[in-house]
């Protein structure tokens, strides 16, 4: 395919065939073998520790990163897959993701949980590509992500906000904070809250996003000082994290709009997210976990506080 021909040409390989198959040395690596077995057993925290150690150890090997990006995607370890794909672009002679082959670019900017995203985008009247950009920034599509501020799940909803939204939506009385790790709960609550902020601030998405990250009271204060000037609003944001957050969302959204068409999202997404025939798992343990109430949840720091592609 285009990606493998590009890799072979860049890396000076004799052939572009079978590059997606794990190199024998990589396949035999104890960290990979232990990690995949632990993942199969549902011991996700331990598995991720092994697989992340392998990813970091091969960080300067573009071919290994490509093979691991596919392997991690196939088992549902999406954050690590995204980091691998992003690292390929960093190592390569190209300067931006826009110049990467489509497969690699879409591994770096995927549309996982597509059906849930499209459903909630329609329900909240939001651009689905904006939701994908926000999820990528918030959690890198890791449904079990937990930030240092105790934000949970794909859209990083904090527990007090989650409880408030559950009450407003009339959620079942047995709702608990751990439900925020369930993708359909996180997406429903996150899109509801973002749409609520958008309506509160008269459709000003940049203000709504600032409220999502920095809180509505701060966003209201910045808006009062900026008035109708969106550029001045950005300048008046006093939290560096929120200012960078808005810039990141803008950048992510530009890439998503270049890579994905909302009218053809399902068809294209299936082709690029389809697991390989020789994938190592028939279905993602996280996908199965998504519809069940989690009991023991391994926590993972939000990538916004650690490693950022």
CATH of the domain at 213: 1.10.530.10
Whether 267 and 146 map to the same domain: the answer is yes
Whether 80 and 212 map to the same domain: the answer is no
CB 137, CB 122: distance < 8 Å: no
Whether 72 and 180 map to the same domain: the answer is no
Of 217, 223, 218, 208, give the one whose Cα is nearest residue 239.
Answer: 218
The answer to whether residue 229 is domain-embedded is: yes
- pLDDT for 216 equals 96
Whether 61 and 128 map to the same domain: the answer is no
Whether 124 and 199 map to the same domain: the answer is yes
Whether 135 and 171 map to the same domain: the answer is yes
Segment (H or E) for 276: none
Whether 260 and 127 map to the same domain: the answer is yes
Whether 25 and 69 map to the same domain: the answer is yes
The answer to whether residue 78 is domain-embedded is: yes
How do the pLDDT tens digits run along the chain, 309 residues long?
899 999 999 999 987 678 999 999 999 999 999 999 999 999 999 999 999 999 999 999 999 999 999 999 999 999 999 999 999 999 999 989 999 999 999 999 999 999 999 999 999 999 999 999 999 999 999 999 999 889 999 999 999 999 999 999 999 999 999 999 999 999 999 999 999 999 999 999 999 999 999 999 999 999 999 998 988 999 999 999 999 999 999 999 999 999 987 555 655 555 555 555 444 433 333 333 333 333 333 333 343 433 334
The answer to whether residue 6 is domain-embedded is: yes
Instruction: Quote the number of domains for the chain.
Output: 2
Burial (CB < 10 A; 0-12, 13-18, 19+), residue 108, is buried
* Exposure b/e, 128-151, CB count within 10 A at least 16 = b: bbbbbbbbbbbbbbbbbbbbeeeb
Domain that holds residue 216: 114-273
Whether 165 and 54 map to the same domain: the answer is no
Whether 50 and 68 map to the same domain: the answer is yes
The answer to whether 241 is a known catalytic residue is no
The answer to whether residue 296 is domain-embedded is: no
The answer to whether residue 258 is domain-embedded is: yes
CB 109, CB 256: distance < 8 Å: yes
Whether 103 and 118 map to the same domain: the answer is no
Whether 93 and 175 map to the same domain: the answer is no
- pLDDT for 275 equals 53
- pLDDT for 299 equals 32
Of 4, 52, 138, 206, catalytic: 138
- pLDDT for 288 equals 36
């Amino acid at each position: 395919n285009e990606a493998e021909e590009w890799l072979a040409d860049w890396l000076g390989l004799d052939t572009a065939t079978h590059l997606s198959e794990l190199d024998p040395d990589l396949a035999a690596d104890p960290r990979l073998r232990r990690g995949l077995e632990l993942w199969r057993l549902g011991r996700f925290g331990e598995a991720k520790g092994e697989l992340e150690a392998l990813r970091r150890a091969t960080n300067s090997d573009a071919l290994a990163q490509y093979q691991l990006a596919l392997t991690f995607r196939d088992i549902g370890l999406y954050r690590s897959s995204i980091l691998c794909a992003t690292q390929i672009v960093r190592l390569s002679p190209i300067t931006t993701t826009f110049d990467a082959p489509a497969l690699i670019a879409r591994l770096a900017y995927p549309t996982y949980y597509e059906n849930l995203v499209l459903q909630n985008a329609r329900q909240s009247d939001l651009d689905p590509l904006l939701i994908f950009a926000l999820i990528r920034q918030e959690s890198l599509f890791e449904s079990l992500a937990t930030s240092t501020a105790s934000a949970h799940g794909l859209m990083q909803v904090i527990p007090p906000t989650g409880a408030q939204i559950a009450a407003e939506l009339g959620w079942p009385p047995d709702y608990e904070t751990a439900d925020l790790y369930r993708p359909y709960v996180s997406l429903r609550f996150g899109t509801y809250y973002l749409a609520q902020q958008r309506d509160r601030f008269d459709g000003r998405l940049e203000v709504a996003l600032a409220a999502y990250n920095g809180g509505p009271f701060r966003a209201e204060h910045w808006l009062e000082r900026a008035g109708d000037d969106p550029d001045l609003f950005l300048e008046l944001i006093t939290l560096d994290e929120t200012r960078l957050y808005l810039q990141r969302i803008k950048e992510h959204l530009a890439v998503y709009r270049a890579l994905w068409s909302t009218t053809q999202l399902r068809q294209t997404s299936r082709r690029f997210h389809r697991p390989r025939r020789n994938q190592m798992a028939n279905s993602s343990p996280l996908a199965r976990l998504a519809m069940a109430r989690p009991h023991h949840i391994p926590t993972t720091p939000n990538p916004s506080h650690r490693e950022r592609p």
